[in-house]
Amino acid sequence: MKQHLTITFIFIIALLCNSVNVNAQSGITPKPLYEELQKGIFTIKKKTAVYTNLEGEERTNMLSFLKESSLKISKKGKLGKKNTISLLLVEKSEEFPSPESYQLSITPAKITISATNGAGLFYGVQSLLQLANQNEDSRIIKLPASLIKDTPRFGYRGLHLDVSRHFLSKEFIKKQIDMMAYYKLNRFHWHLVDGAGWRIEIKKYPLLTDSAAWRPYNTWKEWNKNGKLYCTKENPKAKGGYYTQEDIKEVVAYAQSRFITVIPEIEMPGHSEEVLAVYPELSCSGKPYVDSDFCIGNDSTFTFLENVLTEVMELFPSKYIHIGGDEATKKGWKNCPKCQARMSSENLKNVDELQSYMIHRIERFLNDHGRKLLGWDEILQGGLAPDATVMSWRGEQGGIAAAKASHQAIMTPGEFCYFDAYQDDPSSEPKAIGGFLPLKKVYSYNPVPDSLSSEEKKLILGVQANVWAEYIPTPEHMEYMIYPRLLALSEVAWTAPERKSYTDFYERALKAVTFLESRGYNTFHLKDEVGERPVSLVRENHLAVGKKVIYANKYYHNYTAGGDSALVDGYRGGWAYADHRWQGFIGKDLDVTIDLGSSMTVHSINADFMQIIGPGVWMPRNVEIFVSEDGITFTPIKQIDNDVPENKEELVFRDFGWEGNAVARYIHYVAHLNNKGGFIFTDEIIVK
Ligand code: ACM
């Protein structure tokens, strides 16, 4: 009996110790799979040395990385010696499920990082650096003894930067690659070309960078407003730039030494105004500044694209080449004799199939050169090319459709991954394109939809943050949009869902902001975060809640906010019209009648609208409010004209309401469409 008790006691103590240790936080982001704090510390000293069994270029890269890191270790050590950091390639085993898996063991005597691949060792070093940087205040770096066993959730962990709308220097790109590596991201999607500027030297087509890389305006916004013309580099007002092929090689090598693959994007068939401005013969009209899509009936389009892609493939070793594919207008194709002839000779029923023909043809070209095609989810239109991977941005539907058709997909839905959206109360933020994507929302994302089978789920390769730069004219502003949201994305991409906790992450993110600033990054000040629109956080109880609403005009299918009950559900909208609380009407009035069920005294009727002119969301021209007791005879009680200027650029909210005394069973609320057309959005009709 006594022995039995002793064993039970030992077992309980062991359990307790284990749970205390296992739950200990290392403070590393993204949060590792397993972390155990142990007794003692390892101190980095002058004599601390490094040993590795890595060979060749990987060895050289790793040693120079460590020397230049905050650890500043250059002394060569011997395996197993005291005060040595050993980076060991080990045999493949279940302990290391991925080439990026690693184990980091810190004891008072030595540090050992093991992995089956250079990538894993590199990530072990990043974790070590993060531990070291937490102790930066003291001049001596002391590392708590610990054991970390880590492996990523996804193999694709990406950041996309748009350098077309505003050019970013190669130094800036390298600076962001440093932070990507630090937070264990491994794909840099370089949006090198778009309608607002071509940014990569192509030797065969010099006009792309002699002219299509330069605009006579400081910002995209001014250029966009003033005719969208290019100039030459020699123009005294020329603003822009491009990467020479040498620059590209430098960035690719820099990224590669940090285990980041650079995926170039060459847009086709849409978003190609800049190419068609300088090589108009590749468009349906044959004239500059008319079309945004390549002419697909024209064989010289394919010659051009294949020549460009040939030079691109020489510069980028990436298996994936991104060919864009998004938002082609397909306008010119309908009346273009060459496109029509192509459709007829290839038996293509419509312009979607014409686009698909092009993507298939480009895919064959890439495959013939040993590469794989990656494109935005519009490449599904008209039939997906046989081996294409889909980048799902218009929600998750594209990724789901791809996986269900046995294709691989990368999730980057706007709602969770578009870092050009506001990250806080828009009135306290620099102007953004719209939307609202706070840190917490990025963090909440799960890139694997429940609707997929377990086999289909494996086809979701990972997740990516996209930063589009229309409203991001400076590098400082770009960093502000990236950080600290990129840390949340990194944890979405790396950390096992059961290990995630926003409260825990938030504390780390607060510290990371200080760290990033100390390293010269301009970040959003998380500690001053205002958060969501206050009225959206509480449910508003009022007389119309749950009552019947009769719509004269149907709301737009993408912005239903939950349907017929949305305007009387008690829930107000947040900062963004796409948050499923705002109901949108396109090209028509909001015209609804609420039946309160019985006549009652009413003292106020209010509804909010928002204006954000970038995406075409306008205030109503005016609002009319009527009441009725019988539902037949309506009495007008208020007419309110809009007084928000059409050129007001900031996101603005305005209430259109009435106060007084009326007896009513029916309320008829009409918000007339603005002369601009576009959308009107409201969130709730509040009756008191
Ligand atoms: C995109 O945002 N047009 C991919």
Probe ligand 1: pick from 267, 327, 391, max atoms within 8 Å of CB? 327
Q: What average pLDDT score do residues 99-123 get?
A: 98
Residue 20 in this model has a pLDDT that exceeds 80 = no
Residue 632 in this model has a pLDDT that exceeds 50 = yes
CA distance 160 to 175: 14
Encoding tokens for residue 454? 């377990």
For residue 532, the model assigns a pLDDT of: 95
**Bridge-based pairing state of the strands 320-324 and 261-268:** parallel
Domains of the chain by range and CATH?
Answer: 7-150 (3.30.379.10), 156-528 (3.20.20.80), 536-687 (2.60.120.260)
Residue 295 in this model has a pLDDT that exceeds 50 = yes
> Atom 3, ligand 1: which residue's CA is nearest?
326
Q: Alpha-carbon dihedral of residues 343, 349, 352, 355, nearest 10 degrees?
A: -20
Residue 205 in this model has a pLDDT that exceeds 90 = yes
For residue 474, the model assigns a pLDDT of: 98
Confidence of residue 24 (pLDDT cuts 50, 70, 90): low
For residue 140, the model assigns a pLDDT of: 83
- The rounded Å distance from CA 271 to ligand 1 centre is 10
For residue 434, the model assigns a pLDDT of: 87
- The rounded Å distance from CA 326 to ligand 1 centre is 6
Cβ atoms 62, 52 nearer than 8 A? yes
**Helices 245-256 and 170-182 meet at what angle, rounded to 10?**
10
With CA atoms as reference, report the closest residue to 392 among 323, 447, 320.
447
Q: Which residue's entry shows tokens 């396109």? A: 586
Residue 530 in this model has a pLDDT that exceeds 90 = yes
Atom of ligand 1 nearest to the CA of 391: 4
For residue 1, the model assigns a pLDDT of: 42
Q: Residues of the chain with pLDDT > 70: what percent?
A: 96
Q: Is the peptide bond before 269 cis (omega within 30 degrees of 0)?
A: yes
CA distance 390 to 663: 57
- The rounded Å distance from CA 204 to ligand 1 centre is 28
For residue 281, the model assigns a pLDDT of: 98
- The rounded Å distance from CA 393 to ligand 1 centre is 6
Q: What is the pLDDT of residues 468-515, one digit of tens each?
A: 999 999 999 999 999 999 999 999 999 999 999 999 999 999 999 999
- The rounded Å distance from CA 391 to ligand 1 centre is 10
Residue 681 in this model has a pLDDT that exceeds 90 = yes
* Ligand 1 shell residues, CB under 6 Å: 326-327, 376, 393
Q: How far is CA 162 from CA 199, 228, 262, 327, 387, in A?
A: 10, 18, 13, 16, 26
With CA atoms as reference, report the closest residue to 389 among 320, 452, 326, 449.
320
Burial of 671 (0-12, 13-18, 19+ CB in 10 A): buried
Q: What average pLDDT score do residues 385-413 get?
A: 97
Cβ atoms 449, 463 nearer than 8 A? no
Q: What is the pLDDT of residues 257-274, one digit of tens each?
A: 999 999 999 999 999 999
Cβ atoms 119, 93 nearer than 8 A? no
Host H or E run for residue 658: strand 652-671
Helix, strand, or coil (residue 556): coil
CA distance 277 to 292: 9
Residue 15 in this model has a pLDDT that exceeds 50 = no
Encoding tokens for residue 488? 């949340």
CA distance 121 to 101: 8
CA distance 527 to 506: 10
Q: What is the pLDDT of residues 357-386, one digit of tens each?
A: 999 999 999 999 999 999 999 999 999 999
Q: Which residue's entry shows tokens 């120079």? A: 64
Atom of ligand 1 nearest to the CA of 418: 2
- The rounded Å distance from CA 418 to ligand 1 centre is 9
Residue 525 in this model has a pLDDT that exceeds 70 = yes
- Taken in order 636, 637, 641, 642, the sign of the CA dihedral is negative
Cβ atoms 171, 246 nearer than 8 A? no
CA distance 40 to 58: 32
Mean pLDDT of the chain: 95
Probe ligand 1: pick from 468, 470, 471, max atoms within 8 Å of CB? 468
Q: Who's near 522: CB < 8 A, 6+ residues apart?
A: 476, 477, 479, 480, 483
Q: What average pLDDT score do residues 151-161 get?
A: 98
> Atom 2, ligand 1: which residue's CA is nearest?
393
Cβ atoms 615, 627 nearer than 8 A? no
Atom of ligand 1 nearest to the CA of 324: 4
Q: What average pLDDT score do residues 121-134 get?
A: 96
Q: What average pLDDT score do residues 669-685 get?
A: 95
pTM over 0.75? The answer is yes
- The rounded Å distance from CA 381 to ligand 1 centre is 15
Encoding tokens for residue 669? 């609320």
Q: What average pLDDT score do residues 136-143 get?
A: 77
For residue 136, the model assigns a pLDDT of: 65
Enzyme catalytic residues: 194, 271, 327
Helix, strand, or coil (residue 637): strand
Cβ atoms 549, 564 nearer than 8 A? yes
Confidence of residue 11 (pLDDT cuts 50, 70, 90): very low
For residue 246, the model assigns a pLDDT of: 98
- The rounded Å distance from CA 402 to ligand 1 centre is 17
Burial of 510 (0-12, 13-18, 19+ CB in 10 A): middle
For residue 137, the model assigns a pLDDT of: 62
Q: How far is CA 552 from CA 57, 200, 371, 568, 593, in A?
A: 69, 52, 53, 16, 8
Q: What average pLDDT score do residues 202-213 get?
A: 98
Q: What average pLDDT score do residues 57-72 get?
A: 94
- The rounded Å distance from CA 327 to ligand 1 centre is 7
With CA atoms as reference, report the closest residue to 431 among 477, 469, 471, 468.
471
Encoding tokens for residue 548? 């019947």
For residue 350, the model assigns a pLDDT of: 96
Q: Residues of the chain with pLDDT > 90: what percent?
A: 92
